[in-house]
């Protein structure tokens, strides 16, 4: 049996509908790393096109959405339509921009940016915001970023923009172009903007957390440290204050009734 959450008259949710975190990763290995970092086991919940893994001792659901912004947006939307969440987190391993985020670093996004959504022009690349077609940037709640950063702390933590791309960078030239277009960029991944777009449609704020397995630039698979990055992802979720993040205030002003799943 399901029940509607109670609103305060301004669309803000109260009660249990606020107290759950949705973590969206690309692949099963990342989901397993996140779940290893959380106490207790997890229960599988069916979802159109996939399966949610609901942690049994903490208010966290983990979803392996597939690779790329389209897959992450579609899967996150399915979860957000089926269950109420206070916060969505795009998580997983990523490439890091030197010197901000070397291999082994943990990255928190202070901006989630669609880095290659736009058009080539005679003057160079123009993103869809410049073209007047929409947005290429979502800003996580600064206080939530600060809360997570305080818990993760230390010299291995970088905070900065995380770029979402549909084609992974494989050359020094493109890495330099992205770094020039997005000063201070910390990491490159493929799903964050899709998760943030889906979350925005449901009035849910989004975060992005990445652990760095390789530098952004020429592809050198022998230098990738995927196992180390997955272990760092596990440690990050063991350290995150998931109860506090799962109770994050919603940004839903529409008064939409949310099912308490």
44 phi and psi, to 5 degrees?
A: -80, 130
Q: Which two tokens stand for residue 59?
A: 């208010």
pLDDT mean over 210-223: 90
The predicted-structure confidence for 159-176, as pLDDT tens digits, reads as follows: 999 999 999 999 999 999
Among the listed ranges 12-16, 162-166, 182-186, which one has the minimum average pLDDT value?
12-16
Question: How confident is the model over 143-153, as a mean pLDDT?
Answer: 94
Sequence-distant (6+) residues with CB within 8 A of 196 are 88, 90, 112, 138, 206, 208
For 16-243, CATH gives 3.40.50.1580
Quick: pLDDT tens for 96-106. 998 989 999 99
What average pLDDT does the chain have? 86
In the prediction, which pLDDT does 250 show? 56
> What is the spatial distance between Cα 11 and Cα 255, in angstroms, rounded to a whole number?
4
Query: How confident is the model over 30-77, as pLDDT tens digits?
Result: 999 999 999 999 999 999 878 899 999 999 999 999 999 999 999 999
Buried b (16+ CB within 10 A) or exposed e, 36-56: ebbeeebeebebeebebbbbe
User: What pTM does this model have?
Assistant: 0.86
């Amino acid at each position: 049996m399901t029940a509607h959450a109670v609103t305060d008259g301004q669309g803000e949710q109260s009660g249990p509908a606020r107290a759950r975190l949705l973590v969206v990763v690309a692949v099963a290995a990342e989901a397993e790393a996140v779940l290893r970092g959380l106490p207790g086991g997890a229960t599988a919940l069916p979802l159109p096109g996939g399966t949610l893994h609901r942690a049994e001792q903490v208010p966290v659901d983990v979803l392996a959405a597939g690779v790329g912004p389209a897959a992450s947006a579609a899967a996150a939307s399915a979860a957000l339509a089926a269950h109420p969440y206070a916060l969505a987190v795009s998580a997983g391993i990523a490439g890091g921009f030197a010197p901000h985020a070397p291999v082994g670093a943990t990255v928190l996004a202070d901006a989630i940016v669609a880095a290659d959504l736009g058009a080539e022009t005679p003057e160079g690349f123009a993103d869809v915001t410049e073209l007047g077609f929409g947005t290429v940037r979502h800003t996580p709640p600064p206080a939530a970023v600060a809360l997570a950063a305080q818990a993760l702390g230390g010299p291995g933590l970088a905070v900065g923009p995380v770029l979402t791309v549909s084609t992974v960078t494989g050359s020094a030239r493109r890495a330099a172009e992205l770094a020039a277009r997005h000063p201070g960029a910390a990491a490159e991944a493929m799903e964050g903007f899709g998760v943030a777009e889906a979350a925005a449609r449901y009035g849910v704020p989004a975060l992005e957390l990445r652990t760095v397995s390789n530098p952004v630039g020429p592809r050198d698979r022998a230098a990738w440290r995927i196992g180390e990055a997955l272990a760092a992802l596990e440690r990050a979720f063991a350290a995150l204050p998931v109860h506090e993040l799962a109770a994050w205030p919603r940004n839903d002003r529409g008064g939409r009734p949310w099912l308490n799943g």
